[in-house]
Chain A
Amino acid sequence: MSEVNGMDERLKETLSAMMDDEADELSVRRLLAHSDPEALRSHWHRWQQIRSLMHDEVPQVLPGDMAQKVRASIQGSLAASAEVASESSLPERGWRLLRWRGSAAATVALALLLGFGAGVGWQVSPVAEHGGELAVHADAAPLVADVPEIPLQGLDDQQWEHLSRYLLEHAQHNSVAAGRGSVGYARVVSVSSASR
């Protein structure tokens, strides 16, 4: 929790407001200027975990013991975050699913800053399980909420070769199934030339 303690209270307030879709643009800009994106990322992830657990959004694909570990590991975070949550009235706000109404550009900029690969909406899900830490989707689309993402860059050569074969064969099926000859071919070529 050191990074949380070291973070300006106003920034924490802004983060929590963003969780509830209530941050104003000025606050977001202040957040963008923060010098420690790692701390922001860590803090954001932790709150996402808490929020997700409160909504039972732990990915079902996780083995049971992993889910338990995650729950156990963030109990401390939950307790430690109680103070912050209290300050920002998070429980009262109900941890609603995030829908960003603020400046789209600022949101994207922040997403890039945090390394989240987000669009206009938040998609905090680059890695499902990394270094023992669980990242959970915060996308407004409920169906994306619990699908761990495997970055192509994370695959070794053998795995990529394996996956690419399926991509190619699907592209071939696609030509057959949807009848989109040219698009199907384009997908084939696109897969063939894909670089990770």
Chain B
Amino acid sequence: MRAFRSLCLLLSALLLAPWAWAAESPAELTAEEWLRKLGPALNTTSYRGVFVYTRGDQVNAMHIVHRYRNGEVQERLVPQDGESGEILRKGNRVTCILPEHGRFHLDAVIPSGPFAEAFSSQFVPVSRWYQATLLEPGRVAGHKAAVVELNARDPHRYSYRIWLEKNTGLLIKSDVREGGDGRVLERFQFTSLEITNDLHDSEFEIQGSGKTVEHTLGGGPWSSSTRHLEGWRLGWRPEGFMPAATPRTRASGQAVAFSDGLASFSIFVEAFSGTEMPTGASRIGATTAYMRMGQVDTQRYLVTVVGEIPPATARKVADSVEVIDALKLFGRGSHD
């Protein structure tokens, strides 16, 4: 009987649509099977709740409602502290209500890609770079959870511990941990969570007032025509980190992102803008930003690597950046 159930589970994994995963609540899944549930569950589970995000000495709470309707993700996020603001996503349309006195312009942070869709397929090779272990079950925000530890197999990346809600596979807590002592660098955790299909349309409407910025995902500056690195090359990156977002053409440089399915980092190569930056790494929780200045001919430039990777990895990536054609990379508009 148990074998039959396992077979059914396997068949459902292979044949059914991703959202069918949520309907199963098997008790004997392996760590890898839980990981496969994670991606679809992030999209297809309907819920409302508050999660807290902690990194370094920063703590942010956000209210979230999320549902999957007519084949599209609908999501609304409202920061619970600091400046007011809202982020509403319906399918590929993202709307931001900007805070009046934000330090930064939120129009620069509107997601510009099909973010969650790539997740599920990327989890398969994760076990090549992380050792996945199923730990004792846990409990988060009143929900039973499967706990999976993902220990990095090399020193180029951090390790993770993730809590997945038992019935749906929804990610309800995650830690980014530094190797060795396992110190937690960053934590995402629901403090209240209601998994329900009883979500009203009104919960997915903008309720605040303020400047509104709308954006459609998948278009804009992320274009396949700029897929190749132009005017520079990357000499090294950790194994398993694949191009995850196409390079973005900038006014005077390029940006490109890589991911191993769990961690990601971005590389920015830009002409010197007039702001002298020091050489070295800054850390906010699990995020490292490594900067270094460079020069080719008379053109000065800045290489910045930002990602959830150890400082030494960021530095090695940044040091391997070689600008070979300043004119092509930075254009004529740059200044030195």
Contact = CB atoms under 8 A, between A and B. Distances in A.
A175 interface: yes
B257 A176 contact: yes
Given A178-B259, A192-B102, A148 B280 contact: yes
B109 A121 contact: no
A26 interface: no
A194 B53 contact: no
B289 A167 contact: yes
Contacts of B287: 167, 170, 187
Contacts of B83: 192-193
A186 interface: yes
Contact of A180 (B64, B119, B306, B307): B119
Interface stretch (A34-42, A43-51, A158-166): A158-166
A61 B315 contact: yes
Contacts of B117: 179
Contacts of B304: 163, 166
B281 A172 contact: no
Given A162-B277, A181-B42, A183-B174, A147 B62 contact: no
B282 A151 contact: yes
Contacts of B64: 182
B51 to A, nearest CB: 7
A178 B311 CA distance: 19
Interface centre among A128, A170, A179 (most CB of B within 10 A): A179
Secondary structure of the A contact surface, majority rule: helix
Interface residues of A, number: 56
Contacts of A179: 39, 42, 115-120, 122
Nearest to B304: A166
Contacts of A61: 279-280, 292, 315, 319
Contact of B310 (A143, A151, A171): A143
Contacts of A146: 312
A150 B116 contact: no
A112 interface: no
Contact of B183 (A119, A171, A176, A194): A119
Interface string B44-79: 000000010101001010101010000001010101
Contacts of A183: 53, 174, 188
A116 interface: no
Contacts of B111: 172, 175-176, 181, 184-185
A166 B287 CA distance: 11
Given A120-B183, A149-B281, A141 B262 contact: no
B22 interface: no
A181 B266 contact: no
B268 interface: yes
Nearest to B308: A174
Interface centre among A128, A165, A169, A177 (most CB of B within 10 A): A177
A75 interface: no
Interface in A122-163: 128, 140-152, 154-155, 158-159, 162-163
Interface string B257-295: 111011111101000010111111111100101111000
B245 interface: yes
- The list of the 10 closest CB pairs from A to B, nearest first, reads A179-B119, A143-B312, A177-B244, A176-B113, A186-B53, A148-B280, A173-B257, A177-B259, A177-B264, A170-B306
Interface of A: 61, 119-121, 128, 140-152, 154-155, 158-159, 162-195
Given A121-B180, A141-B178, A168-B109, 18 more contacts: A143-B310, A145-B312, A147-B281, A151-B282, A158-B275, A173-B257, A173-B266, A176-B245, A179-B39, A179-B42, A180-B42, A182-B42, A188-B109, A189-B62, A189-B82, A192-B104, A193-B58, A193-B83
